[in-house]
Chains A and B, each alone.
Chain A
Amino acid sequence: MNLSTGMTAMTAAVHREDAAVTAKISAKDVNVYYGDKHALKHVTIDIRPQEVTAFIGPSGCGKSTFLRCINRMNDVIDSCRVDGRIAIDDQDIYDKSLDVVQLRARVGMVFQKPNPFPKSIYDNVCYGPRIHGIGNGKTELDEIVQKSLERAGLWNEVKDRLQQPGTGLSGGQQQRLCIARAIAVNPEVILMDEPCSALDPIATARVEELIDELRENFTIIIVTHSMQQAARVSQRTAFFHLGILVEQGDTEQIFTSPRDERTQGYITGRFG
């Protein structure tokens, strides 16, 4: 393997497979630095549309860093520098002329700890559409709120208490509220950074079922430190280690016969 380029023969082979499907998100030779620290090295990956792609790897491997490049959340970190090309629908998202606010409407994000705004359930969901000018007047906003909550599988549980604070819901419900909030602005991509870490198994299962339903209409990337979750929920999996994208492929192949020894070592719990 040529360590300096990070592009192994295997990665090249995977790219030939990928060429048949048009990528939604395309990353080429992406490097990320926090000051002098080279946190992400020569990452090249295509994310396919209407699929769930999981990023797995031990703590500090760069998976969350890479996730935050896709909606340019790393911009808010002073010491952070991003190199290389990331394109959505073949459009470079780091282009100077790109409106970052619009980008973050197209690319939604859900975080590890549910973070509903200190507002009512209703206002949580319609906040995004309001500030982006989506939906004029109460009727349209009402529809958007209902549709988003329905799609997030939360509507029946909250329809009679929309004016109550979002923070009054249970953990699982709060997370589904955050998902409703993210989809209310009609994104194309949803990024999820360990969305179920704070949830119990049943709440987790409900979010996973929701992810299964959502992928018909959205492209989803999920960072998870649970390989079992990655196995359950995704169609493609990418394994990161020490800032390098070690292996990517169909989830079934990664978890039944990974090509790289490091991948096998990680998923069988032999190191990490």
Chain B
Amino acid sequence: MPQAKDHIVKSFDEEIKKLNNYITHMGGLAESQLQAAIETLVKRDADTASRIIRDDAKIDEQEVLISQQVVRLLALRQPMAIDLRQIVAALKISSDLERIGDYAANVAKRAIALSQMPPLKPLFAIPRMARLVQHSIKDVLDAYTEADADKAIQVWQRDEEVDEMYTSLFRELLTYMMEDQRNISASIHLLFIAKNIERMGDHATNIAETIHFIVHGRDIAAVRPKGDNTSFAVLKANDADEMPSLEERR
């Protein structure tokens, strides 16, 4: 987070820099875990998926380091104003990144299960949704490094698109399940995967809100855009008839 001037006591700057580096490193790990998890899903690669699950421990370690550094800074430096906001924010951001890591590991777990079942029809929507979320994570980490609240707001607004993709995926998967009950197992896994990706998007949005708070010292004023209407979704019996048939879709 660039500041106009350095602190008079240089070691304070060094310790804040250390904290920033931990966050950036943790964010990079989370981002690559997500990317790798989707690849294992698409390629049906159970071995890599197992590695991803183990690697989640590295992200958890970072959270511990960040917590310790935050407590240390609060105790030893009595930070004020932007320093205080930034240091407290690091705690919140690391918590969001840790959840993103957990969800990526969950995706990998389900990828292992799916690799042992016959493949469901190609669902381009999932990798597409994952790419969108991956961009959000990358952009929000850039926004953090550059103290760019505007960039953070852009990420924040993108969450609606992620939610809409999830809602339509939800409907699509419901129809597969209704068409053929042999599809149910795989569809449920994919539904959970989609939900996990949507949650990762939410956490990236949380980080965006936190960055806005660091820079401006107050919350993003508008109401957070919510596009996930699946809680209200009810598919009636003839909805399946109205959707294009499997043959038409191929």
Contact = CB atoms under 8 A, between A and B. Distances in A.
Interface stretch (A37-45, A104-112, A205-213): A205-213
B233 interface: no
B76 A232 contact: yes
Interface residues of B, number: 12
Interface of B is mostly: helix
A231 B76 contact: yes
Contact of A209 (B9, B71, B77): B9
Contacts of A256: 71-72, 75
A143 interface: no
Interface string A168-184: 00000000000000000
Interface of A: 202, 205-206, 208-209, 212, 228, 231-232, 251-252, 255-256
B116 interface: no
A228 B79 CA distance: 11
A202 B9 CA distance: 10
B182 interface: no
B69 to A, nearest CB: 11
Contacts of B238: none
B10 A209 contact: yes
A212 B10 contact: yes
16 contacts: A202-B8, A205-B7, A205-B8, A206-B8, A208-B8, A208-B9, A212-B9, A212-B11, A231-B76, A231-B77, A232-B9, A252-B72, A252-B75, A255-B75, A255-B76, A256-B72
Nearest to B77: A232
A252 to B, nearest CB: 6
Contacts of B10: 209, 212
A150 to B, nearest CB: 17
Nearest to A209: B9
Nearest to B7: A205
A159 B11 CA distance: 27
Contacts of A206: 8
Contacts of A205: 7-9
A206 B6 CA distance: 13
Interface in B1-22: 7-12
A239 B116 CA distance: 63
A139 to B, nearest CB: 33
A50 to B, nearest CB: 15
B8 A209 contact: yes
A206 B9 CA distance: 7
B8 A231 contact: no
Question: Shortest 4 CB-CB distances between A and B: which pairs?
Answer: A205-B8, A255-B75, A231-B76, A209-B9
Contacts of A252: 72, 75-76
Nearest to B74: A256
B231 interface: no
A212 B13 CA distance: 13
Nearest to B12: A232
Contacts of B77: 231-232
A252 B69 CA distance: 11
